[in-house]
Amino acid sequence: MFQHLKGIRVLDLSSVVLGPFASQLLGDLGADVIKIEPPEGDIFRAAAPARHRGMGAGYLNLNRNKRSLALDLKSPRGREVLYRLAQTADVLLHNMRPGAVARLGLDSDRLLQTNSRLVYCAAVGFGGDGPYAGEPAYDDVMQAVCGLASLPMESGAEPAFIPTVLVDKICGLYTAFGIVSALLSRERGGQGGALESPMFESMVSFLMAEHLGGHVFEPPLGPLRYQRVMSPYRRPYRTADGHIAVLPYVTKHWQGFLKLVGRDDLAAAEWLSDASERSERVGELYEVLAEVMPSRTTAEWLHALKALDIPCSPVNRLEALLDDPHLRSVGFFRRTEHPTEGRLNSLRHPLRFVGAEEYPDLPAPVLGGQGGDVLREHGFNAEEIESLIDAGVVCQPTPDGAG
């Protein structure tokens, strides 16, 4: 972890992927992230595989650099604890639906009355001003509603989900960026405020950056969609012994490639040298790629294409990444010792800050593992803490670390 956000305290009420991904980014940058979980814990703790109940692989990989407080926010005493914590917090993040927030009395007006410098961030499915506000939002649903899952249909395939929790992670990036921006604004203006980070709007913004296409203009100068990426021939190409990604892009790339494969006629075509005309006919060029790639092995293609400085890559399986020479050289995968889970493989934060000192990461916490410390830091005395534990408002970790 780094120390860029040292001194910033985040109350993270979020669960599963979007919120925890965003708050982990803040923790990686030095923020003190207090993960406030219900007594049963973040539901993503249950995602297999796991060595111990409540400490699943996905949870471990999304919750480093955090401390856990298991708090029953459905109880009035639990909410009073949260209000007390919020008095000195810098950020409160949640990804609850608006109805749940209202029932719990955790709306932005209530929390900002407690602390006017608080940055209150609600990561929601849909913006609160629209008719979808309050509807449930999970990654698969969002891939469908934002149009992402429909894109394979353009080449005659069935709609498909991208097999990663893509929307949650993209929207987690938007959320972290929004929080840091709001903190900077607070430092300049002295006041916090409420921030809404909606998944639907974020993903439509992300997707339509290029796919708004001809509808950028009024009246439209062409259809929706960025035509280059919609070609059915734009894909990883089969070689004689595997698959390869190839992207000739500028004129020099295409001319060099076409001469390499004996298509001097196309290499000399006037339209090939014109970026606008080539863009309109790029599907024809991708078809040539698809036709010729099976004629050589992946290694042969990589050697020939790299000699021409044409962007290319083998299609790596996930297994190959674990021993990738570049990732190994930059120390991306790290072996760590977790206090309850033993030896683990972890991922370092991808950003590098030149000249900045890096500090060891905190391991993902067991449920409620730092609850007592957090409460003491906020002025709760031993008698108050014991009373909260006895009432079931604050939960202590169990011997197996699951909570």
Which residue, 230, 76, 39, is CA-closest to 152? 230
Model pLDDT, residue 251: 97
pTM of the model: 0.94
pLDDT at 154: 87
SS3 158: coil
Q: Which two tokens stand for residue 259?
A: 């001469």
Pairing relationship of beta strands 32-37 and 66-71 according to DSSP bridges: parallel
For the chain, how far is it from start to end, CA to CA, in angstroms? 26
The structural domains of the chain, with segments of one domain joined by +, span 9-206+328-395, 237-314
Contact predicate 192/120, CB 8 Å: yes
pLDDT at residue 400, rounded to an integer: 56
Look up residue 171 and give its amino acid.
Answer: C
Per-residue pLDDT of the chain (403 residues; tens, 9 = 90+): 999 999 999 999 999 999 999 999 999 999 999 999 999 999 999 999 999 999 999 999 999 999 999 999 999 999 999 999 999 999 999 999 999 999 999 999 999 999 999 999 999 999 999 999 999 999 999 999 999 999 999 888 999 999 999 999 999 999 999 999 999 999 999 899 999 999 999 999 999 999 999 999 999 999 999 999 999 999 999 999 999 999 999 999 999 999 999 999 999 999 999 999 999 999 999 999 999 999 999 999 999 999 999 999 999 999 999 999 999 999 999 999 999 999 999 999 999 999 999 999 999 999 999 999 999 999 999 999 999 999 999 999 875 544 4
**Coil, strand, or helix at residue 15?**
coil
Fold adopted by 237-314? formyl-coa transferase, domain 3 (3.30.1540)
Just give the CATH number of 9-206+328-395. 3.40.50.10540
Length of the chain: 403
Which segments of 133-274 does DSSP mark as H helices, in order? 139-145, 166-189, 199-211, 227-230, 251-260, 264-267
Burial per residue of 346-362, b for 16 or more beta-carbon CB atoms within 10 angstroms, e otherwise: bebbeeeeeeeeeeebb
